[in-house]
Amino acid sequence: MRERWIKQQAADLGFQDCGISRAERLDQEARHLEEWLHRGHHGHMSYMERYFDKRVDPSRLVPGAKSVISLSYNYFPEEQAQREDAPKIARYAYGRDYHKVLKTRLRDLWNRLTEEYGEISGRYFVDSGPVLERAWAERGGIGWRGKNTLLIHPRQGSYFFLAVIICDLDLVADEPLTDHCGRCRRCIDACPTGALSESANILDASKCISYLTIELREDIPREFSDKMEDWMYGCDICQEVCPWNRFATPHTEPDFAPRKHVTEMSADDWHDLEEMNFEQIAAGTALMRAGYEGIRRNLNFVRPREDHS
């Protein structure tokens, strides 16, 4: 059975879960994306406005596509690795950049697929193309879309990365999971910037701390000066309060092990850091996405030097 073999190969390569869905146009998601963009919830992420048709129609990326293979990869650390007096960094950024790690695993899985089934038409993505990874993973049964808009699995929580393979293999699709958020609204109540919608599973990214500290290239608006809760890069608040993450188990990926020269730095260490040293410390990590100037901007916004002199 093709599906079972593919899932076994994915597990052998370290993927936490694997789900399959039909490669068809995402009509409902297209309407939601259009409305989300119209409301300006994407902030300055203008790239979200490009390649709309490719985002919602996999056949625009892979002509003749029949299946989408969605994969998850655990990154939950064994413990909170940072010093208590340090400005906070999202857990996913403790170790090596996940794009680099997952791209290698995906390439290996793709090679196994072509060795087993011959010439296949397809492409694979790790948060690097016009693909709605969460929508495909949700359809493939990897999780349901929580009120924090992240994918949640009832036995794994939400601390995982997503990747997809779009291909012309004709595979049997998995069933989606049922939404189990119920009346819980802990993530909505905990979000200090009000980025999560009261009425629907919608994120106003322009208010999200992760967006403000990573995607935004301009100055962080002063209206958020007392709402950042010490996050210097990314944010985990809506995951930390989610009851389903009590089932999250530590990852076993050596590349995601916390880099001590990142996690052991104090606020003063970050303030004293020069660009050359930053590039040595952050090389190969997700911190490079913000860059030296971005990290300094974030640090000065959440932990001004005078507070820790």
- Catalytic residues, which ones? 127
Instruction: Write down the number of H helices and E strands in the chain.
Output: 12, 8
Identify which of 127, 201, 170, 179 has the alpha carbon closest to the alpha carbon of residue 24. Answer: 170
DSSP string, 118-142: -S--EEEESS-SS--HHHHHHHTTS
Measured CA to CA, the distance from residue 195 to residue 185 in angstroms comes to 13
- Say if CB 100 and CB 202 are below 8 A apart: no
In single-letter form, the type of residue at position 46 comes to: S
Measured CA to CA, the distance from residue 181 to residue 39 in angstroms comes to 25
In single-letter form, the type of residue at position 254 comes to: P
Measured CA to CA, the distance from residue 54 to residue 215 in angstroms comes to 22
Measured CA to CA, the distance from residue 134 to residue 150 in angstroms comes to 8
Q: Which residue has the tokens 């999202």?
A: 90
